[in-house]
Amino acid sequence: MDGDSPQAAFWRIPVTHFQSRARSQKSPLACLSLLLLVILANPLRGPQSDSTASAATIPSAASRTHTAEEQIRQADRQFCIDTRKDGLEGWLKWFSKSVSLGGLSEPVKGESALREHYRGQFGPGFISLVWDPREARVFPDGHLGYTTGRYRWHSKDSGGEDQFSTGSYLTVWKLETDGAWRVISDFGSPDPKE
């Protein structure tokens, strides 16, 4: 795939960009970006259960975390199924209504801006995007988590030639007030070309 194509740009966000923004601006979005880098470098460990609580009457924090991790893992799998089936519409329906993507020349805020941002990636040359979560973690409060795994992008270039890209991804999830897990940020890093 051409390094300047919309698909390649979609998956490539330089780490140094996040680090410099976080140091210079200290904005919540910049701090979240830096936090995501820390997560990738040092995955969270699940909380330990309270040894004084009765296991028969109170579920342990580790048990609650495990259940939430399975929920976001399943949500990520369904996110992939919906994207494969419905393209852009399947992709967009998994994003939180309050999403704000940073790390770009201008932040992407709101549903219509999000649609416009991703329209090029799911344009006429798009064939498929599939992925599989290999790890799911949830922060101890149970309202924020992430999945990581591998993806495969398939498209056709303007000359009709098949183009493939593989790599790793990180999706950040938020538990919404309706009880559904929704995407608040998504990052990817393509494998080096051979």
Q: What angle do CA 41, 132, 36 make, to 5 degrees?
A: 25
**What does residue 141 show for φ and ψ, rounded to 5 degrees?**
-75, -10
CB 150 within 8 A of CB 135: no
Q: Is the pLDDT of residue 27 over 80?
A: no
The string of pLDDT tens digits covering residues 74-118 is: 999 999 999 999 999 999 999 998 887 877 678 888 888 899 989
3-state secondary structure of 60: coil
- Partners of residue 173 on adjacent β-strands: 145, 183
The string of pLDDT tens digits covering residues 137-192 is: 999 999 999 999 999 999 988 888 999 999 999 999 999 999 999 999 998 899 99
The stretches of 28-174 forming alpha helices (DSSP H) are 28-41, 61-86, 88-92, 111-119
**Tokens linked to 117:** 């941002």
Mean per-residue pLDDT for 34-55? 41
